[in-house]
Structure 1
């Protein structure tokens, strides 16, 4: 049973959800994901926003094991497992086994590599729409502060 005797009601009165950066970041993240999915759909690309970062990291860094890919995309192993299965079925990634058969590496297939420039173009269109009216200096500050928050939470 939940004990309500420890609730600080004064603190609750001071908290405004619409002024919370966590709440606002979540809204923006969802809107950006929706925008990217829409851009991908318009270009007839059968990839979802959750999958695009995995493809880009593999393009950028080459062959990686699943654990390193999860870290590189700030996702957990379970969530990328589902995405990797889908991407493998679409023949955009492939698994390669190293000397230890339990450890496999993921890499893009030629079809995956060929798709990356189109994915980047969609991402850029979505970001251009999202940041319309913002100056480059504002974007640089926003990115710097966002990365600072991410670094604080990773520690």
Structure 2
């Protein structure tokens, strides 16, 4: 039975999933992220915190498209590795605000150059205009689902 119509290998879902996984695998390999006490699943949290600290745990869950329990466990691991701290929100004690430690901030300088080089190699030979179009389209898809 021919399943090509049901499971097109060049579909948006298949390609975005596979490309994302391939990039994550290559970045994990090149950065040796595991040696820093960080798993690939933690990278989204770190990137969010490198952009803005003092965010709520639930904001990280939304941004990383993870449930609250998964984020709570990830934050516990990162806190135990001295990468971040959770501080009670002075305005609402039920919330915890997440901040990077010195070690967490330093990881950016160790991990980002290799990650950026990986992306540069992955996009070699692709016209800047095509990359800009791809990023714009993916961003719109993301916004369609996150309403941001």
Structure 2 match to 1:93: 84
Of 124-133 and 34-43, more deviation after overlay is shown by 34-43
- Report the aligned-residue RMSD: 2.2
Of 62-71 and 99-108, more deviation after overlay is shown by 99-108
Give unmatched runs, 5+ long, in structure 2. Answer: none
Alignment of 1:4-153 (within 5 A): 14-41=5-32, 44-99=35-90, 100-153=92-145
Structure 2 match to 1:6: none
Give unmatched runs, 5+ long, in structure 1. Answer: 1-11
Structure 2 match to 1:3: none
Query: Rg: which structure is higher?
Result: 1
Q: How many angstroms does 1:42 deviate by? A: 7.7
Of 44-53 and 143-152, more deviation after overlay is shown by 44-53
> Contact conserved, 1:40 with 1:46, CA < 8 A, in 2?
no
Q: How many angstroms does 1:14 deviate by? A: 3.8
Give structure 1 regions of 4+ aligned residues with deviation exceeding 6 angstroms: none
> Which string of whole-angstrom CA distances, capped at 9 and with x for unpartnered residues, describes residues 45-104 of structure 1?
442222122112112112111011222333332322222111111100001112344321
CA separation of 1:38 and 1:18: change in aligned 2, threshold 3 A: same
Partner SS state of residue 113, structure 2? helix
> Contact conserved, 1:92 with 1:112, CA < 8 A, in 2?
yes
Question: TM-score normalised to the size of structure 1?
Answer: 0.80
Q: How many angstroms does 1:43 deviate by? A: 9.4
